[in-house]
C-alpha cells in the first residue's frame, strides 16, 4: 500500500489530502483548547505522516534516532502527566524545535551528522525556503485536480487567473485605502463592509476552516520540501567542481576515506536524491583552522594564575561557610548574594575556553601535550571550586529564604555544569572522547530529567523540611505551586499546618472552572488528581 502511494503519479495529491486530514485533527485537538493528552497524540501522528510520505528519503535508522525520538515523546507526555507552567511553556517551544532538527537529520536534503552545527542551517532552509516554494505547488495541484475535464490551454488560463487573484489582493488593499481617504462618499459605501465581515468571521465553523486550510498548506509544503527539495545554483557548481576535480586529480585510493558518489544533477530539474555532505577534495583543499598551542598555553597560564589566587583567598571561609564560619562582616544572606552570579558567569566562560582549547588547538609534541593537559586540569579544578562556592552560597540563601522555582532550576543548572566539567576532565585525559556529542546527549538527558523530577513536589518537600527545622514557611507560595504538589500539601496541612487548608481550598474553584471548560483533549493527570484531592478535602 505504501509502495503504491510512493510510485503513484497522484502522490502529491494524496499527500495534500492527508495533510488536510491531519490539519482537521490538529484543529480538533488544539483550537480553543489547552494542550493536554492532545499534544503527544499529535506528535505521534505527525511522525507517522512524515515517515509515510517521505519514506523514500529516510536515512538508515541508528541509536541516536531512537534516542531523539524518545526525548521528543517523553517531553510531549509531560503535557499529560505534569502541570508545571514554566516547563509547559518551554516545552511548547522545545518539542517543535527538536522535531524539526530530527526530521532534517532523518530526511533532509543534506546528510549532515547530528552533531554538526550546519544541521541548524539545513533545518531553517527546509522550514522556510524549501517549504515556501511549495505553496505554489498546492495551487498547482488544486488547479490540476479541479480542471481534469479541461484542456491544457484552459488549465493554464485557470492557473494564471488564480495567481492573478492572489497577486491582486495586496494591491487592492492599498488602493482601496487610498481611495477611501480621497473620497468621503466612496468611504461611506464601504463603511458597511467591515460590519458584514465581522458577522462573517463570527459564523460558526469559519475560523476552523481557515485554521484547517492554513495548517494543511503548511504541513504539505513542509513534507514536500523534503520530497522535492530545491538544489541551489552554488551547490550545483560545487558538485560540478568536485566531479571535475575528482576526474582530473590522481588520488591514492584509500577506502577508509572514500565518500559515497554525489548524485547527478539535471539542469532545470529538482533532484529527489539526497545530497551527501562531501567537501570538494582537491589539491588546494584547506585544512581545518587550529589555534597555535603556544598562544593557547600562554592564555591558560595567565588565566590559571588569577583563578588559583582567587581559590586560595576563598579557602579561608569557603568550606566553613556551611557550618556557619563566615567572614565577620557578612551575614548569611549577604554571603549568599555576594558574587553568586559572577561565579556562574565565570564558570560559563571557562567552559567556552575549555571547548576552544580541546577542539581547536594543534598538537605540540609529547612534552607540549603534557603541559597543555596540566593547564587544562588546573582550569577544570578551579572551575569546580568556583562552582562549589556558588552551590554553597545558594544553599545558604535557600535556608534563609526558602525554596522557589528559580532557585531549584539554578541548583539543577549547577549540577549540570558539574557533569559537563567531569566530561571535560575525561576528555583532557582521553583525547578520543567526542566532546560535543557527549555534551549534546547529556544536555537532552538533563532537560528530560528536570521535566520528570517533579519540581513542584520537590520544592514543597524542601520547604516542609525547612519548616521542621526553623518553624518558618510561606503558605501563600506553597498554595501557588502547580497541581503536581497538591496531594503532598493536603497531607501536610491535615497533619501539621491547618492554616494551609483555606488557601488550598480557594484553588478548587479554579480547577472546577478549568475542568468545566475543557474537553478530553486537555486532560491532565496531575490536574485531575488535584481536583479529586481538593474535592475530598471539602467533603470532610
Scan for cell 582567587, then name that residue.
310
Scan for cell 596540566, then name that residue.
374
Instruction: Summarize pLDDT for 390-432 with one digit per residue, the tens.
Output: 888 788 788 888 899 988 998 898 899 899 999 999 998 888 8
pLDDT recorded at residue 500 = 86
Give the residue from 85, 30, 43 showing the smallest Cα distance to 451.
Answer: 85
- Average of pLDDT values for 274-294? 59
- Average of pLDDT values for 173-180? 75
C-alpha cell at 412: 539543577
CB contact set of 341 (below 8 Å; sequence gap of 6+)? none
Q: How many CA atoms lie within 13 A of 118 on its CB side?
A: 8
pLDDT recorded at residue 476 = 87
Q: What is d(CA 26, CA 42) in angstroms, rounded to the nearest whole number? A: 7
Instruction: Summarize pLDDT for 490-526 with one digit per residue, the tens.
Output: 899 888 888 888 878 776 655 554 554 568 899 999 9
Give the residue from 204, 227, 218, 177 showing the smallest Cα distance to 55.
Answer: 227
Give the residue from 74, 71, 26 showing the smallest Cα distance to 46.
Answer: 26
| Model confidence at 448: pLDDT above 90 | yes
308 falls in which pLDDT band (50, 70, 90)?
Answer: confident
Averaged pLDDT of the chain:
79
461 falls in which pLDDT band (50, 70, 90)?
Answer: very high
| Model confidence at 239: pLDDT above 60 | no
pLDDT recorded at residue 154 = 67
- Average of pLDDT values for 129-134? 90
pLDDT recorded at residue 141 = 86
- Tell which wins on pLDDT, 161 or 488: 488
Q: What is d(CA 399, CA 467) in angstroms, rounded to the nearest whole number? A: 10
Give the residue from 14, 271, 226 showing the smallest Cα distance to 131.
Answer: 226
Please check whether residue 380 is in contact with residue 424, taking contact to mean a CB–CB distance below 8 angstroms: yes
Q: What is d(CA 173, CA 193) in angstroms, rounded to the nearest whole number? A: 13
CA 75 to chain centre: 10
- Tell which wins on pLDDT, 215 or 360: 215
Q: What is d(CA 310, CA 386) in angstroms, rounded to the nearest whole number? A: 9
| Model confidence at 353: pLDDT above 70 | yes
| Model confidence at 15: pLDDT above 70 | yes
pLDDT recorded at residue 516 = 45
What are the φ and ψ backbone dihedral angles of 291, each rounded to 5 degrees? -85, 155
- Average of pLDDT values for 304-320? 73
Scan for cell 488557601, then name that residue.
503
- Tell which wins on pLDDT, 453 or 395: 453
Helix H or strand E segment including 192: helix 192-201
- Tell which wins on pLDDT, 96 or 296: 96
Contacts within 8 Å (CB) and 24+ apart, 401-404: 401/333, 402/463, 402/466, 402/472, 402/473, 402/474, 402/477, 403/459, 403/462, 403/463, 403/466, 404/459, 404/477
- Average of pLDDT values for 189-194? 61
| Model confidence at 285: pLDDT above 90 | no
What percent of the chain has pLDDT above 90?
31
Amino acid at each position: 500500500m505504501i509502495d503504491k502511494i510512493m510510485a503513484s503519479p497522484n502522490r502529491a495529491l494524496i499527500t495534500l489530502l492527508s495533510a488536510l486530514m491531519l490539519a482537521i485533527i490538529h484543529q480538533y485537538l488544539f483550537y480553543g483548547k489547552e494542550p493536554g493528552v492532545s499534544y503527544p497524540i499529535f506528535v505521534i501522528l505527525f511522525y507517522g505522516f512524515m515517515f509515510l510520505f517521505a519514506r523514500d528519503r529516510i536515512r538508515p535508522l541508528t541509536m541516536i534516532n531512537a534516542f531523539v525520538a524518545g526525548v521528543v515523546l517523553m517531553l510531549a507526555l509531560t503535557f499529560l502527566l505534569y502541570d508545571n507552567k514554566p516547563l509547559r511553556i518551554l516545552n511548547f517551544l522545545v518539542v517543535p524545535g527538536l522535531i524539526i532538527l530530527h526530521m532534517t537529520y532523518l530526511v533532509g536534503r543534506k546528510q549532515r551528522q547530528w552533531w554538526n552545527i550546519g544541521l541548524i542551517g539545513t533545518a531553517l532552509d527546509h522550514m522556510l525556503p524549501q517549504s515556501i516554494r511549495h505553496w505554489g505547488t498546492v495551487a498547482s495541484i488544486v488547479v490540476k485536480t479541479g480542471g481534469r475535464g479541461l484542456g491544457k490551454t484552459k488549465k493554464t488560463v485557470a492557473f494564471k487567473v488564480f495567481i492573478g487573484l492572489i497577486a491582486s489582493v495586496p494591491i487592492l488593499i492599498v488602493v482601496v485605502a487610498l481611495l477611501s481617504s480621497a473620497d468621503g462618499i466612496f468611504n461611506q459605501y464601504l463603511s458597511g463592509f467591515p460590519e458584514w465581515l465581522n458577522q462573517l468571521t463570527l459564523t460558526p465553523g469559519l475560523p476552523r476552516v481557515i485554521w484547517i486550510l492554513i495548517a494543511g498548506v503548511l504541513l504539505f509544503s513542509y513534507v514536500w520540501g523534503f520530497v522535492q527539495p530545491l538544489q541551489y545554483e552554488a551547490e550545483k557548481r560545487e558538485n560540478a567542481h568536485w566531479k571535475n576535480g575528482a576526474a582530473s586529480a590522481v588520488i591514492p585510493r584509500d577506502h577508509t576515506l572514500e565518500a559515497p558518489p554525489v548524485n547527478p544533477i539535471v539542469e532545470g530539474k529538482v533532484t529527489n536524491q539526497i545530497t551527501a555532505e562531501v567537501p570538494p577534495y582537491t589539491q588546494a583543499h584547506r585544512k581545518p583552522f587550529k589555534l597555535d598551542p603556544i598562544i593557547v598555553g600562554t592564555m591558560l597560564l595567565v588565566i590559571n594564575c588569577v583563578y588559583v589566587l582567587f581559590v586560595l583567598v576563598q579557602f579561608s571561609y569557603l568550606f566553613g561557610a556551611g557550618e556557619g564560619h563566615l567572614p565577620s562582616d557578612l551575614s548569611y544572606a549577604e554571603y549568599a548574594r555576594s558574587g553568586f552570579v559572577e561565579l556562574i558567569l565565570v564558570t560559563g566562560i571557562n567552559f567556552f575556553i575549555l571547548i576552544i582549547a580541546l577542539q581547536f588547538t594543534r598538537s605540540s609534541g609529547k612534552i607540549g601535550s603534557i603541559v597543555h593537559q596540566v593547564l587544562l586540569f588546573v582550569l577544570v579544578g578551579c572551575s569546580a571550586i568556583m562552582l562549589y562556592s556558588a552551590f554553597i552560597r545558594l544553599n545558604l540563601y535557600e535556608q534563609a529564604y526558602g525554596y522557589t522555582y528559580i532557585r531549584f532550576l539554578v541548583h539543577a543548572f549547577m549540577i549540570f555544569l558539574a557533569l559537563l566539567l567531569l566530561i571535560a576532565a575525561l576528555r583532557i585525559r582521553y583525547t578520543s572522547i567526542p566532546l560535543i556529542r557527549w555534551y549534546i546527549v547529556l544536555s537532552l538527558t538533563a532537560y528530560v530529567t528536570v521535566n520528570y523530577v517533579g519540581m513542584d513536589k520537590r520544592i514543597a518537600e524542601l520547604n516542609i523540611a525547612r519548616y521542621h527545622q526553623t518553624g518558618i514557611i510561606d503558605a501563600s507560595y506553597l498554595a501557588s505551586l502547580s497541581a503536581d504538589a497538591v496531594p503532598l500539601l493536603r497531607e501536610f496541612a491535615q497533619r501539621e499546618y491547618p492554616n494551609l487548608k483555606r488557601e488550598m481550598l480557594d484553588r478548587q474553584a479554579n480547577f472546577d472552572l478549568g475542568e468545566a471548560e475543557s474537553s478530553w483533549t486537555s486532560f491532565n493527570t496531575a490536574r485531575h488528581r488535584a481536583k479529586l484531592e481538593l474535592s475530598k478535602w471539602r467533603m470532610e
